[in-house]
Structure formats: C-alpha cells, structure tokens
Amino acid sequence: MTDIRPEVATPAPQLEVRALRKYFPLKLSLMARLRGQVPETVKAVDDVDMVVFKGEVLGLVGETGCGKSTLARCIAGLYESSGGEIRLDGQALSARRTTALRRRIQVVFQDPYSSLNPRMTVTQTVGEILRVHGKIPRKAVATAVDEPLGLVGFPTALKNAYPRSLSGGLRQRVSIARALAASPEILLADEPVSALDVSVQATILNLLDDLRKRLGLTILLITHDMAVVRHLSDRVAVMYLGRIVESAPSEELFTNPRHPYTVALLSAVPHLEPGRGVPPPAVVGDPPSPIRLPSGCRYHPRCPLAEEVCRREDPPLEIGPWHPGHAAACHFAERVDQLVLQTADQRRDRALAQQADKAAGQEKD
Amino acid sequence: MPELLRVEDDVVEIRTRRGVLRAVDGVSFSIAAGEALGLVGESGCGKTTALRTILGLIPRHATVSGRVLFEGEDLLAKNGDAMRRRRGKAISMIFQEPMTALNPLMRAGQQIAEAIEINLGHGGREARREAVDLMRRVDIPDAERRYRAYPHELSGGMRQRVMIAMALSCHPRLVLCDEPTTALDVTVQEQILNILATMQREEGLSILYVTHDLAVVAELCERVAVMYAAQIVEIGTVDEVFRRPRHPYTLGLLRSIPRFERVQETLNAIPGAPPHLLAPPPGCRFHPRCPYVEDDCRQGDFPLLPIGDDHDSACIHSERCVEAIVGDPVMPGD
C-alpha cells in the first residue's frame, strides 16, 4: 500500500491508521448454527489507511453505512478493531487504553440531546472530566469548569443548569467543552452539527474553526455534508463501503476529483443558487450491502467507467501524477476528468431543457 | 396558471400542560396548478403542522381555524368521510420516514395496489399491474420482484420510492412532501428529487415541499415561503427571495449556510436560538436576534406586506436588507 502523505518532506503524522479492519459478525439462528452455517460478517471498515497531521482538520465524508463512524469509534477506542493498527505519535494504540492515552483523543458526538447525561448539570458533566483527566480536586471543580466553558463561549451563568433547559446549540457547546476539558490533542467530531437547527449550525462550525486556530487542535471531522467539509477541512478523505477511495487536500479534491464516486457525490450536492433546476442523477441505485461486497472494485456496479478489470481487481489507493498529496483508488483515475466534463454537460443541457419547458408552458397559458 | 390551493389565516392551537401553544399562527399562502412551493423553516417552526392541517391530520387535542380552499372548496369544513375521499386521491402525502409510514407486515407492492383499489375502485389484478407499473416509473429496478418485498427488505431510498409510487397512484393534483429526503443520502436524494421534478413537469402536478434545506428548495421549487416561530415571514419566487431577501431572518439564514460553491472565511451566524412557542417574544418574533432591530419592532403585529411583484415580507424595515445586499450579494455573481 502506498504512503498517502501530502508531501515527501512533511513531518511524521500525528495519527496513523494502517490496514485497519472492523468486522461485525452477524448473529445466526440456533437452527442455522446446528446446520453448521458460518456466520456472515459486516465489513464496516475494511483495510483503511489514513494519516492525520498535527493541527489540521481532516474531513471524512461518505454516505450512511460507509463505515466513517465505525472508523472514528475504533480510533477513539470505543470499538476494538479486528485487525490493523492505530498509532498516535508513533505509539500503537489498542482499545484498552490507559487514562493518560484516552485523554489525548476525545469525541464530540452528533446528538447533544442523547450524549449528555440528563441527570447531571453542566458543571458536573464537564467537572467529571476535569477530575479524571485534569486531576483537579473536587472542591476546585466548580471554578475550574469556567475555563473549558469559556473556550466554547458557554454563558457561565447557566453552568448549574441541566441539559433539558438548554437549546441544541448550547448543549453542543457543553459537549465540546466536555471534550476540551481533557486537553485533548485530537478531537473527533462525528456529525457535530447535523442534529442542530440551521441557524445555529454556523455558530458551532465557527467555534470548531476558532478552536483549531487558537488551541492548535487536530480535528477529525466526520460528516455527510459536503459544504461543511469544504468549509472547514484542510484535507478530505472519501469513504465508500468500508474503504477510503480518495484523499486529497480540500481544494484539490473539490476541483479535481479522481474517483468516479467522488464525482457522483459532489454533483449530487444541491446548490443554493436558484435557476439551476434539479440536475440529472450522476449515479444510479443505492450502495450495496456491506455484507456481500461486490468483487473487484466495490464501486463497479454503479460506476459509469467500469470495465472488465474493475470486476476482477480491487484498485489500491495510490498517489497519482495530479498532485503530490492526492491519492485515488480507481483503475481509470486518469479518465475521471472526462466524466466530470460529461456530468457538467448533461447538467447544462438539462437546465436548458427545463427552462425551455417552462417557457413553453407559460406561452400556453 | 389557475390557483389550486389557498390556505387562509391558518391557526393551530395545541393545549399543553403549560398552556396553549400556537403551533401555526395565521399562515396564508397559495399554490397554482403545476407549481412547486417550498415551505422552509427550522425544526419546531410549525411548517409540518401547517402542512398536515391541509389534510386534517392534526392531533385530537389541537384546534384549527382558518380556511383551506382546494379548488374553491373549504377542506376544513368537511367531515371525516368527505375528507378521506380527498385524501390520497386529489391530494396525497409523502412522509419523512418511510419506515414508519409503511405497514411493516404488508408487502410493499400490495400497499400501493391497496391504495389503487380503494381510491380508484380498480379490481385486484388490474391494481397489481398498475402498482408494478408505478414502481417502474419511480425507478425501482426489478419491480416485479420488489412488489413482493416487505418494507424492511428495502433500502431507505427504495422505501421512499414506494411511498412516492403510493402517493402518485391515484393521479393526485397536489402532493404534500414532508422532508422526504432528509433521512436519505445525497446521491439518493438527487434521484428522488428527479422523480418529483419529472412528475411535476410531465403531469402538471403541484407540490408543497416542506424542508429545512434551502438548497433543495432552490433546485426544485418556483416559489418559497419562509417560516419563523409559527409565522410566515417572507414569501415570493425563489429567485427573488434567495437573491434579494427582504426579511432579516431569510437574509441571516442564507448567509449562515456553508456554501458548497464558494469558500467563506467565517460563517455569518445568527446569534441566539429560535423562541419557544409557549412564550414567543412580543412584536416581531425575530427581533431579539435581529441585527437591524429598532424600537418599533418590539410590539404590535407584523403581517406580510407586499414589497414587490409576487414578493411579501413581514419586516417593517425591509429596506435595511436592500442596503445590506448592495456590494455584498447573497449569490455570487449577482
């Protein structure tokens, strides 16, 4: 497997994931077990290689069930991986970690309504982490929580409130403050804004950006929202069915995608600018089940570029000649720019046809 | 185009233990035949309740007033049976979560066929053939086999297609969509929007599309109504409202969304959070979060006022939005 570092001369990565696997065996009925059937497995994460550098925001995108949250949970130590390794500053991490190791990677979950204990006040929630990881004595906690709460802009007047009396935006701030209370080096943010109101999302995104700049935090941002990723990330990795299919610096990935799946994903994002109409779908069907993975390249059943070789051979994630930090796992990566042009053409034709249709409809009236 | 639906002064009051909550407060809008109207707003702003009153699908402890005129007939004045005849036939609905809206114990295709049998009175075999046909039209591959599948055997996108097939089965003139793509991935969302856009174009279907996603509205709809705290604060053509918003909430919302097509330094967030509907602020409900607030915003009523050709706003200082856009257009290149 090729190294996917952005440039040859860059420092060693802070977080390194090598050939990581996480398989979930499916339960069999008693009869099936008596018949001696072998249980099937869901390959949620299947041979993932990834590096994260200090102080960067790496956006991990992909659709439901592609394994992005499972990957994050393995990194956080919430799941024990089935194979491969995770290294933090060169040190191998298992799921069984010492408190000191756990402190270094903290998680912000998607839903601040279910990830905060409803029976603990804000001070208790954040203070618990301070006592465990900051070794702050119980008596000093009440004042010590002001620091992480201040970092996230949580009004300290509300620090003795219970989560139920807080708005979604404030709850997510508490959840971020709880993670920061451990002084982590890496923050895993798993869909940090998708449960929030649209008008509140921006404040949390600005906060994450600000924290990265002020504290030099490394952030692994997991989301399905391409606009959020483009706004916050320095680099982006695209996941499909348990595998990373493309990774590149953010602008490079968005302007010069080299995997057909990335092209489909990017062209499916609705734009706010009116007058574009609904574009023709760039990909047909739903992702296949991660239980029975397609042979060869996992994207071949939906891929417009697929040929015989794609059904046979699984393409490795390799740096191409386009950019020193741009890797794609496609046999025909060099043809993908043609696909981008084609998609854009189809889209323009469709928009023109829709306009003509509407004009014709108005004349009739 | 002739008007198909007109909602006038829709008010929905829900009795709760802590008092009476106005989930919808004086909402009025209309939809022309063949038109798609987007109703956008944040969670809890009353957009789903407003949509549900059209079909009379409101909780028992709620009271509704106002008028819902469908082709001139007041649907709210109808009794249960007359309403049921309308439902599914002239007006149908697509729900957000197809898994809870479909019957888990009944084969997907049979649920479509059942709708055809009841509403159109077609015989079993004919209904079955029409159901398979419809499944093909909403791009369900292998429709014959999928007819026999149970909802749990289908993916989210396939289930939503079954819902759409069912909604279209009786040739409705209006389809009410309640966030039909929110639970779906973007690539599947795009496919679903395509089916809806095609039906609208080819069969002159009218669509009322409720969502919090302004970009989906920009692609699918001709007109848009923006709701905030149970009231419509701005309504007009998508082109007008998104390019030249005349309500500070609409402007704030448009500026706060991370844009896929251009990279911004920081997002212009709207401070604060939407108010609770049990105790909405007096005056303009947006005034505590509004950057242009003045003394006269803090009390009184704020009805929609026409400010242009097919463009109404509830803001009495809407010229401030005009000033804010000069030199800093909402859409790049304007």
pLDDT tens-digit readout, B281-313: 999 999 999 999 999 999 999 999 999 989 999
| B38 in contact with A, Cβ within 8 Å | no
Contacts of A279 in chain B (CB under 8 A): 190, 219
3 state DSSP class of A259: coil
For residue B278, the Cα-to-chain-centroid distance in whole angstroms is 23
Query: What's chain A's length in residues?
Result: 365
What amino acid occupies position B266?
A: T
Residue of B201, B218, B253 with shortest CB distance to A271: B218
Degrees, nearest 5: CA angle B272-B278-B279 = 55
Query: Is the pLDDT confidence value at A79 over 70?
Result: yes
| Selected residues 206-235 of chain B with any CB under 8 Å from a CB in chain A | 212-216, 218-220
Q: Which residues contact B300 (CB under 8 A, 6 or more apart)?
A: B283
Chain B residue nearest residue A262, CA to CA: B187
Please enumerate in sequence order all residues whose Cβ is within 8 A of that of B222, keeping only pairs 6 or more positions apart, or say none. B35, B36, B37, B237, B238
Tens-place pLDDT, residues B42-80: 888 999 999 999 988 888 888 999 999 998 888 888 777
What pLDDT was estimated at residue B51?
A: 93
Specify the pLDDT at position A200: 84
User: How far apart (Å, rounded) are the C-alpha atoms in residues A79 and A98?
Assistant: 15
- DSSP code of residue B107: -
Residue ranges of domains in chain A: 15-364
CA pair distance B141, B162, nearest whole angstrom: 12
pLDDT of residue B313: 97
DSSP per residue, A209-232? HHHHHHH--EEEEEES-HHHHHHH
Closest by Cα among A231, A118, A115 to A172: A115
Residues B152 and B236 occupy one common structural domain: no
B69 touches chain A (CB under 8 A): no
DSSP per position, A11-36: PPPSEEEEEEEEEEEPP--HHHHHTT
Q: Is residue A218 within 8 Å of A53, Cβ to Cβ?
A: yes
Cβ–Cβ < 8 Å for B212, A198: yes
Closest CB from A226, A268, A274 relative to B190: A268
Confidence of residue A273 (pLDDT cuts 50, 70, 90): confident
**Does the residue B261 lie in any domain?**
yes
Q: Which of A278, A303, A352, A365 to mutate to test the interface with B (most CBs of B within 10 A)?
A: A278
* Domain assignment of residue B278, yes or no: yes
Residues in A touching B189 (Cβ below 8 Å): 268, 270
Whether residue B191 lies within 8 A of chain A, CB to CB, comes out as yes
In the three-class reduction of DSSP (H, G, I as helix; E, B as strand; rest coil), residue B10 is classed as strand
> Which pLDDT band holds residue A250 (cuts at 50, 70, 90)?
very high
In the predicted structure, residue A2 carries a pLDDT above the cut 50: no
**Domain-terminating residue out of B133, B149, B171:** B171
Closest CA to A166 of A179, A152, A180: A152
Residues A272, B214: C-beta atoms closer than 8 Å: yes
| Residue B221 in domain | no
What is the full per-residue pLDDT of chain B (334 aa) written as tens digits? 789 999 999 999 999 888 899 999 999 999 999 999 999 998 889 999 999 999 888 888 889 999 999 988 888 887 777 777 777 678 999 988 777 889 999 999 999 999 899 888 888 899 999 999 999 988 888 888 999 999 988 888 889 889 999 998 888 999 999 988 887 888 888 988 999 999 899 889 999 999 999 999 999 999 999 999 999 999 999 999 999 999 999 999 999 988 876 667 788 888 888 888 888 999 999 999 999 999 999 999 999 999 998 999 999 999 999 999 988 888 877 7
**Does position A282 have pLDDT exceeding 80, yes or no?**
no
Percentages helix, strand, coil for chain B (3-state, rounded to 5) are 35, 25, 40
Which of B201, B242, B266 is the closest to A357 by Cβ?
B201
Would you say residue A28 has pLDDT above 50? yes
Query: A286 and B271: CB-CB below 8 Å?
Result: no
Angle of CA points B182, B184, B96, to nearest 5°: 45
* B189, B191, B239 member nearest A274 (Cβ): B239
Residue B221 confidence (pLDDT)? 96
The answer to whether residues B158 and B236 belong to one domain is no
Shortest Cα distance from B195 to chain A (angstroms)? Answer: 10
- Number of folded domains that form chain B: 2
Location of structure tokens 């386009």:
A322
Global pTM reads 0.87
Amino acid found at B292: Y
Q: Are B190 and A282 a contacting pair at CB < 8 A? A: yes
For an interface test with B, the pick among A251, A259, A273 (most B C-beta atoms closer than 10 Å) comes out as A273
> Does residue B236 share a domain with residue B151?
no
Residue A1's pLDDT is 43
* B11 Cα to chain A: minimum distance (Å): 24
> Which chain A residues are within 8 Å of B196, Cβ to Cβ?
278
Strand-pair category, A15-25 with A83-88: antiparallel
Q: Among all residues of chain A, which has the CA nearest to that of B257?
A: A202
Q: Which residues in A lie closer than 8 A to residue B252 (C-beta atoms)?
A: 199
The ipTM is 0.84
**Which residues in chain A are closer than 8 Å to B158, comparing Cβ atoms?**
286
**Which chain A residue's Cα is nearest to B140?**
A285
Q: What is the pLDDT of residue B282?
A: 94
Is residue B286 domain-resident? yes
Q: Are residues B165 and B231 in the same domain?
A: no
The answer to whether residue A8 scores a pLDDT higher than 50 is no
Residue B334's closest chain A neighbor by CA?
A273
Token pair listed for B17: 């233990």
Q: What is the dihedral of CA A254, B325, B283, B58, to 10 degrees?
A: -40
Phi, psi of A264 (to 5 degrees): -65, -45
Does residue B280 sit within a domain? yes
Determine the structural domain holding residue B295 and report its residue range: 227-325
From A168, A230, A286, residue closest to B157, measured CB to CB: A286
The residues facing B101 across adjacent strands are none
The yes-or-no verdict on residue A3 having pLDDT over 60 is no
**What class is the A15-364 domain?**
alpha beta
**DSSP β-bridge partners for residue B114:** none
Question: How many helical (H) and strand (E) elements, i.e. helices and strands, does chain B have?
Answer: 12, 12
Q: Does pLDDT of A358 surpass 70?
A: no
Residue B226 has φ and ψ, to the nearest 5°, of -105, 125
Tokens of B253: 């919302």
Quick one: DSSP state of residue A295?
Answer: S
Q: What strand order describes the sheet that includes B91-94? A: B91-94, B174-178, B206-211, B36-40, B223-228, B231-237, B311-313, B305-308
For residues B150 and B107, is the Cβ–Cβ distance under 8 A?
yes
Tokens of A164: 């139920």
- Is pLDDT of A246 > 90? yes
State residue B95's pLDDT score.
87
Q: Is the Cβ pair B156, A64 closer than 8 Å?
A: yes
Q: Does B215 contact A270 at a Cβ distance shorter than 8 Å?
A: yes
* The pLDDT of residue A138 is above 70: yes
- Domain assignment present for residue B47? The answer is no
Task: Report if residue B55 sits inside a domain.
Answer: no
Residue B293 lies in a domain: yes
Measured between CA atoms, the residue of chain A closest to residue B181 is A270
pLDDT attached to residue B262: 67
